[in-house]
């Protein structure tokens, strides 16, 4: 479903709480990056499992993700990355070893960190990386995106979040659906809990630009890497992980496909499996 909106909200100040969090463990830190239009809560289960295994875990809020959509839709990927890099360097200065794990768009930002700071990022985890919006539930109208990207319309068109919302678990999905079904574009009361009710096409364009940039870097990235994605990812197909895996310059890389999850694998049916696979991989370093 596509929503056209030409309304500019007057409010430019933060409209939702900052759900960033830090769990103090040992001097081995896992820096967790949530997805575009998402929330640090997406990384909460993984963070607590990492913490229980002894690791420290930091999950910062992505730039603009407690602001209105009118503000968010104007942020460039370079600005998302610059803000995340600043938080990464702040955390990295406190720990002996730093690992990066990103979900969806966050995985692409993680790849950028690994490229720019190869000695600081000890290992990299890409969870449901999003280079292409080619999952089974993405609307057929996505074929028009390349045309829309070239026009100012990208700032005025939004894709409303619709079922299954990246979640296969029916109980969790119903909880999310109760919010998304009645949420409007200017409804921000629960974005800190569930993320935004719609994604601006301009943000998808920034994802596209970042994906192109990251693709050009893959052969230069030699950090140990683990890629995890669901075979039935509703947003981005498994070819996203396969594409990255085949082109990464690392000689130490693994890829894992899940059988019973959708896009938000850190919160879905196999979240425990994801956490254990991540911990097992990081324990090697």
Q: What is the largest CA-CA distance in the chain?
A: 51
pLDDT digits (tens, 9 = 90+) for 133-178: 999 998 777 788 889 999 998 999 888 888 999 999 999 999 888 8
Taking CA atoms, 269 is separated from 15, 112, 201, in Å, by: 31, 29, 29
Segment 87-105 shows an average pLDDT of: 95
CATH code assigned to 20-282? 3.40.50.1820
- Residues with Cβ within 8 Å of residue 54, at least 6 apart in sequence: 25, 26, 28
Main-chain dihedrals φ then ψ at residue 36, nearest 5 degrees: -65, 130
Pairing of strands 225-230, 121-127: parallel
pLDDT tens-digit series, residues 182-236: 877 766 667 888 889 899 999 999 999 999 999 999 999 999 999 999 999 999 9
Ranges assigned E (strand) in the chain: 2-4, 21-23, 28-33, 56-59, 97-103, 121-127, 157-160, 198-200, 225-230, 253-258
* Integer CA distances (angstroms), 9 to 17, 80, 135, in order: 18, 21, 31
Tell me which of 83 and 184 has the higher pLDDT: 83
Is the per-residue pLDDT at 72 higher than 90?
A: yes
Q: How far apart are CA 285 and CA 281, in angstroms?
A: 8
For the chain, which residues make up each domain, given as ranges? 20-282
Model pTM? 0.94
């Amino acid at each position: 479903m596509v929503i056209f909106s030409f309304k500019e909200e007057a409010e430019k100040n933060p409209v939702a709480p900052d759900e960033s969090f830090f769990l103090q463990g040992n001097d081995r830190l896992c820096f967790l990056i949530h997805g575009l239009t998402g929330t640090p809560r997406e990384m909460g289960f993984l963070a607590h499992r990492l913490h229980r295994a002894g690791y420290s875990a930091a999950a910062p809020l992505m730039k603009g993700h407690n602001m209105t959509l009118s503000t968010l839709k104007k942020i460039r990927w370079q600005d998302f990355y610059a803000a995340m890099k600043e938080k990464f360097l702040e955390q990295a200065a406190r720990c002996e070893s730093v690992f990066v794990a990103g979900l969806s768009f966050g995985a692409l930002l993680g790849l950028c960190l690994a490229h720019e700071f190869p000695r600081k990022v000890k290992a990299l985890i890409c969870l449901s990386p999003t280079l292409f919006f080619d999952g089974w539930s993405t609307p057929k109208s996505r074929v028009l995106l390349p045309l829309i990207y070239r026009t100012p319309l990208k700032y005025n068109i939004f894709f409303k979040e619709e079922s299954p919302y990246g979640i296969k678990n029916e109980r969790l999905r119903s909880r999310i659906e109760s919010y998304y079904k009645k949420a409007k574009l200017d409804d921000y009361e629960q974005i800190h809990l569930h993320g935004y009710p719609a994604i601006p096409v301009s943000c998808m364009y920034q994802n596209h630009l970042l994906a192109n940039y990251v693709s050009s870097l893959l052969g230069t990235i030699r950090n140990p890497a683990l890629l995890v994605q669901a075979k039935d990812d509703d947003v981005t197909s498994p070819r996203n992980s396969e594409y990255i895996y085949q082109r990464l310059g690392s000689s130490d890389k693994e890829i894992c496909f899940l059988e019973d999850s959708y896009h938000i694998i850190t919160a879905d049916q196999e979240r425990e499996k994801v956490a254990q696979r991540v911990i097992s991989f990081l324990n090697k370093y």
